[in-house]
Amino acid sequence: MEPDSSAVNYVNYEGSASIGGMPIEAHDPTYLEAYRQSIQNPVAFWEEQGHLLDWDRPWQQVLDNSNPPFSKWYVGGYLNACYNAIDRHILAGRGEQVALIHDSPLTGTVRRVTYQELYDQIILLAGGLAKMGVVKGDRVVIYMPLIPETIIAMLAIVRLGAIHSVVFGGFAARELCSRIEHVEPKLVIASNVGVEPGKVVPYLEILHSAINMSRWHPPQRNIIFMRDNVSVDTVDEGADVLWSDVLAMADANQPIACVPIEANDPLYILYTSGTTDKPKGVLRTIGGHLVALMYTLKRIYGIGPGDIWWAASDMGWVVGHSYICYGPLCLGATSVMYEGKPDRTPDPGQYFRIIDQYKVRSIFSVPTSFRVIRRADPDISYGRQYSMKSLRAIFIAGEHCDYETKMWIEKTFKVPALNHWWQTETGSAVTATCLGFQQSLSPPTYSTGLPLMGYDVKILKPDGSECESSELGRIVLKMPLPPGNMATLYKNEELFRKLYFQKFPGYYDTMDAGYKDERGYIFVTARDDDVINVAGHRISTSSLEDAVLRHPDVVDVAVFGVPEPTKGQVPLCLYIPVENCRKTDAKLSTEIIKLIRDVVGPIAAFRLITSVNNLPRTRSGKTMRKAMADFARNERVILPATIDDASVFTEIRRALQQLGYAMSAPDPIVAKLLD
């Protein structure tokens, strides 16, 4: 069913000076024309993009929007993700091209895996999985570190038409247990260990603990990949089978063929908790998602077949799924897998080394990684020996990027640092500055770019009316959403409707706050919870953080609202000074308060401020402002399983009590099992 174009809030292109509120003269005509087509006639636009993939059977209907919000794309079309990621490149004669570069300073190894080598391993693993009874529609949990075998496992599962659910290897037994109970897998595929700076993580032991505490019947078997170069472990012969033994089960003379899957059947289930909520199982379907990844890699990131691309993330996060595995492999690019940290494995020069050594064309990372490098090595004494000539741009997302960090990235790496915005739920970017169009690579400060194809972005007030230009409000996306977005929440369609589509009927509620300027650029300021109301004035905490980070002695900061009897709310600031800062806390805090008065004005009521050594973050680098705000209000704080280090709250308590808050706050607890 093609949507009624008259229902789209769209200024007609013909004879008009703007498209979707974007002045024609201000933007690349090629981008504007593509965006116009995607909004005015999404069926025709996405039908053309669908041909980026190889299909076993063509679709019968591009878009079925008869049951919103459950839109379906490429209805009746059949394809296989493994075929598009691997087989078609082999058949095109490109099997000897490197598909994955695994660089692991933690283990002192580098592996270059070609498309042919991936195919050979996937075929064997898929054959063994088939012998163990895995068929189309089955679920398989993967609990592995950032190694090529994780991607081999993902692609072997989808080759059979089964569904994978990758659990980030840093999760402990209770979090793994909750996901196993919810997804009910036939099998679990795990590694025996993972590696972190200074320690080995016992994955096999954690897996056994998770299964033992589970209230659901255990998976039929656990397949264990042994990292013999790290640790040799003993498996449970009753529950576990070695990866190598599963490969040996396959019939090498009869390789497993790809099972065609309808475009709206599940590809994977990925659990997300954000920074506050219990995990939600985002269910992603295959057809529209792969189309969106192919399109965005080319158009946003400027990547083509054979290019070297690095998404500095991990498997078990949406970035890893989209842009370490499926996107670059379907495109025929080379994907870098870096098993290390920005600063400690072994030094803060590793990002520079990776770029130079492998001739990386574009990077995707989080702002925190660059703040870490800047804090550890402000003079770039480790990184300056490497060449950045291959690099075209650095793309940042996942959290707000302050102006000082952005400028430092551009000065240091000598390429544009392009902020863009997306969510686990969307699977790829909603707004961006695109290398694949002739867009300005110097977008307005703090902007996350222009809307991507198919996204009709609106800024709404609480009553549902549209905000004026540059007025802060809730960011929503007009339905139907373009291909690639989540199809639903696994086993919870009611929550899917209520959480994302009930508050603003006809729109997907991003739950982010921001505004749109007169040229159509989108500014994502914070989660809507992070907008504070000071004496009736709505102030984004990110704007205050940006101002604090202008101070040369501050390397990181978190600002959040706390109660105050006269003004209702006032901002409280916790900041991290640069290494070897010689100023006292009192002197530096006084200078920051003056800076805020000069930049933002007295309206901010900015007086509560002190330094800390660390801030609480999720493993994906997001600062947990709401948790700190609740803690300051003496509320019980339940930390998500994604927290990187819960012990940070010992220092946070000291800092808050110094300012008169969290005086009776109970100790935070880490979330356990799903209800």
**Stated pTM of the model:** 0.84
Q: Are strands 334-338 and 308-311 parallel, antiparallel or unpaired?
A: parallel
The pLDDT of residue 372 is 87
In terms of Cα–Cα distance, which of 184, 269, 177 is closest to 220? 184
The pLDDT of residue 529 is 54
Spell out the residues 6+ positions from residue 84 whose beta carbon is closer than 8 angstroms to its own: 53, 54, 290, 330
Q: Is residue 198 part of a domain?
A: no
Q: Is residue 585 part of a domain?
A: yes
What are the average pLDDT values for consecutive 10-residue runs of the chain, which has 675 residues? 33 49 78 96 98 98 97 98 98 98 96 98 98 98 97 98 92 85 96 92 94 90 95 91 97 92 98 62 97 97 97 92 98 97 93 98 92 90 96 90 89 96 95 95 92 97 94 94 97 94 96 92 75 68 84 92 83 92 92 85 84 87 87 90 85 95 91 45
The pLDDT of residue 530 is 63
CA–CA gap between residue 510 and residue 499 (Å, rounded): 10
Task: Give the residue numbers spanning the domain of 663.
Answer: 535-670
Q: In this structure, are residues 263 and 50 in contact, taking their beta carbons and an 8 Å threshold?
A: no
Spell out the residues 6+ positions from residue 108 whose beta carbon is closer than 8 angstroms to its own: none
Q: Is residue 550 part of a domain?
A: yes
The pLDDT of residue 167 is 93
Q: Is residue 596 part of a domain?
A: yes
Q: Is residue 628 part of a domain?
A: yes
Q: In this structure, are residues 451 and 393 in contact, taking their beta carbons and an 8 Å threshold?
A: no
The pLDDT of residue 503 is 94
Q: Is residue 34 part of a domain?
A: no
CATH classification of the domain holding 586: 3.30.300.30
CA–CA gap between residue 93 and residue 333 (Å, rounded): 14
Q: In this structure, are residues 271 and 280 in contact, taking their beta carbons and an 8 Å threshold?
A: yes
Token output for 583:
């100023």
The pLDDT of residue 539 is 74
CA–CA gap between residue 490 and residue 386 (Å, rounded): 45
Please name every residue paired with 98 in a beta bridge, in sequence order, or none if there are none: 114
Residue 527 DSSP class: E
Q: How many domains does the chain have?
A: 1
Q: Is residue 437 part of a domain?
A: no
CA–CA gap between residue 515 and residue 528 (Å, rounded): 12
Q: In this structure, are residues 515 and 467 in contact, taking their beta carbons and an 8 Å threshold?
A: yes
DSSP codes of every residue in 432-499: E--TTTT--SSPPTT---EEPTT--EEEE-TTSPBPPTT--EEEEEESSPPTTS--EETT-HHHHHHH
Q: Is residue 477 part of a domain?
A: no
